[in-house]
Amino acid sequence: MTKTAALLLAGGLALSACASDEDGGDGGGSGGGSEGTLKVGVAYDTGGRGDKSFNDSAIAGVEAAVQALGGDVDEDIEELSPNEDDSNREELLTQLAENDFNPVIAVGFAYGDIIADIAADYPDTQFAIVDTSVEDLGVDNLTGLIFAEEEGSFLAGVAAASKSVTGHLGFVGGQQSPLIEKFEAGYVAGAKAVKPDIIVDVTYLSPAGDGSGFGDPEGGKVAAQGMYQAGADIVFHAAGGSGEGVFEAAVEAGQRAIGVDSDQYLSASPDQQAVIMTSMLKRVDLAVEEYLNSFADDSLESGTDILNDLSTEGVGLSESGGYIDDIQDVIADFRQQIIDGDVEVPTTP
């Protein structure tokens, strides 16, 4: 059976499959669908499904690919979540490969240190990892889905500075890491491109190597509260599930916030929708969907990276709520300057 035919027979997502972080998240029960069908394995980042951001965007792409190719979104996708201290990530990838899921998608850079070795152990399985470059790893059955987060964040900074009344902004990062620092760097650069003297407070919820900052809504709330109390009127978060706390703080302060990854306005409560000015879209869903389509039609060139940036609409800003409608010309101008190479966006603070 070809991969295309297999995907057409594939099932999708078993909603009851996502177990809690505490037990490691074995979600599929039977470990796969009927013999001969394509089975997609998904190893989530911290927080798992339901973060209304990064993980949810990834699984949306899986579901969209299966549905678009005529699959029965019902039974042949396995979702696994890391345990509380993230110590079982290697076991998750190994379990998916051992159970014949193919391809296996690792959601997040925290899998970067282990996925090459596991992919090498399972040469007949295709692996993809979000947010990690694989081109120097020398593994033919591994694809990197990477993003120019700094470009989208630059536009978020442009929007924030254009809308700020106090001339004071905030940024809450989940974990101090090169990836999240790309969000910070772009955001600050975009803000200063509009208002060179603007103040941007920066806080990270956990240090390098500690992913807990992506699942700490209370920590996100406390960090944002401090920024609003210090005079910031808009806070951008790149903190996964912890962003919920940032939104709560914005509601209580009567100020604005900027979401990340998904269009977070769409999944927010009405009171939060009133404060979510925009979201920096990181189209993990589109990247994953395109990867699966390429896998299905045998056009996948693995062993390389696939870059998603402003020119491919892999990053950008949401417009839900209409809060940035009046500055679209400004945003569009900077967007084109970045695409044309006239503005070089930094990747480090």
Per residue in 179-232, pLDDT (tens digit) is 999 999 999 999 999 999 999 999 999 999 898 999 999 999 999 999 999 999
The structural domains of the chain, with segments of one domain joined by +, span 3-147+284-311, 149-282+319-340
Residue 305 pLDDT: 96
Residue 75 pLDDT: 73
Euclidean distance between CA atoms 57 and 101, whole angstroms: 20
Euclidean distance between CA atoms 273 and 261, whole angstroms: 16
Please determine whether the domains at 3-147+284-311 and 149-282+319-340 fall in the same fold group of CATH: yes
Euclidean distance between CA atoms 157 and 152, whole angstroms: 9
Residue 74 pLDDT: 67
- Assigned token pair, 300: 């996948």
- H/E element, 96: helix 89-98
- Torsion (CA) 200, 204, 207, 211 in degrees, nearest 10: -140
- Assigned token pair, 163: 């809308």
Question: What predicted TM-score, i.e. pTM, was given to this entire model?
Answer: 0.83
- Neighbouring residues of 342: CB distance < 8 A, sequence distance ≥ 6: none
Residue 345 DSSP one-character state: P
CB hemisphere CA count around 281 (13 angstroms): 20
Residue 232 pLDDT: 98
Task: State which fold the 149-282+319-340 domain adopts.
Answer: Rossmann fold (3.40.50)
Euclidean distance between CA atoms 99 and 203, whole angstroms: 41
Residue 22 pLDDT: 35
SS3 201: strand
Residue 99's nearest CA partner among 39, 44, 140, 14 is 39
Positions in the chain whose pLDDT score sits under 50: 1-36
Euclidean distance between CA atoms 26 and 227, whole angstroms: 39
Burial of 207 (0-12, 13-18, 19+ CB in 10 A): exposed
Residue 84 pLDDT: 85
CATH number for 3-147+284-311 (one of 3.40.30.10, 3.65.10.10, 3.40.50.2300, 3.40.50.300): it is 3.40.50.2300
Burial of 274 (0-12, 13-18, 19+ CB in 10 A): middle
- Residue 62 sits at the vertex; the CA angle it makes with 57 and 67, to the nearest 5 degrees, is 120
